[in-house]
Amino acid sequence: MYHLLKGLHEHLTRKEEFSVIIIGLDGAGKTTLLEKIKTLYNETPGLTPDKIGPTVGQNTGTVTLPSTILQFWDLGGQRGIRNIWHKYYDDCHAVAYVIDAEDRERLSEGWEVFDSVLSAPQILNVPLLLIANKQDSPNALSVEEIRQDYEDWHQRKVESARRSARYEGEADRRDRIASLDVMGISAIDGTGVKAAVDWLFIRVQNSRRDPQKGIGR
Ligand SMILES: Nc1nc2c(ncn2[C@@H]2O[C@H](COP(=O)(O)OP(=O)(O)OP(=O)(O)O)[C@@H](O)[C@H]2O)c(=O)[nH]1
Ligand SMILES: [Mg+2]
Residue 5 falls within a domain, yes or no? no
Residue 192 falls within a domain, yes or no? yes
Which tens digit of pLDDT belongs to each residue from 70-100? 999 999 999 999 999 999 999 999 999 999 9
Rounded to the nearest whole angstrom, what is the distance from the C-alpha of residue 67 to the centroid of ligand 2? Answer: 28
Protein residue closest via CA to atom 2 of ligand 1:
134
Residue 148 falls within a domain, yes or no? yes
Residue 28 falls within a domain, yes or no? yes
Answer whether 188 contacts ligand 1 (Cβ < 6 A).
yes
Residue 212 falls within a domain, yes or no? no
Residue 213 falls within a domain, yes or no? no
Residue range(s) defining the domain that contains residue 83: 15-205
Task: Give me the residues near ligand 2 (ion), CB cutoff below 5 Å.
Answer: 30-31, 55
- Side by side, which strands form the sheet with 16-23? 58-64, 68-75, 16-23, 94-100, 128-133, 181-184
Which tens digit of pLDDT belongs to each residue from 179-190? 899 999 999 999
Pocket mutation for ligand 1, best pick of 22, 25, 31, 32 (most atoms within 8 Å of C-beta):
32
Number of domains in the chain: 1
Q: Which ligand is nearest to the CA of 76?
A: 1
Residue 158 falls within a domain, yes or no? yes
Which tens digit of pLDDT belongs to each residue from 13-32? 778 999 999 999 999 999 99
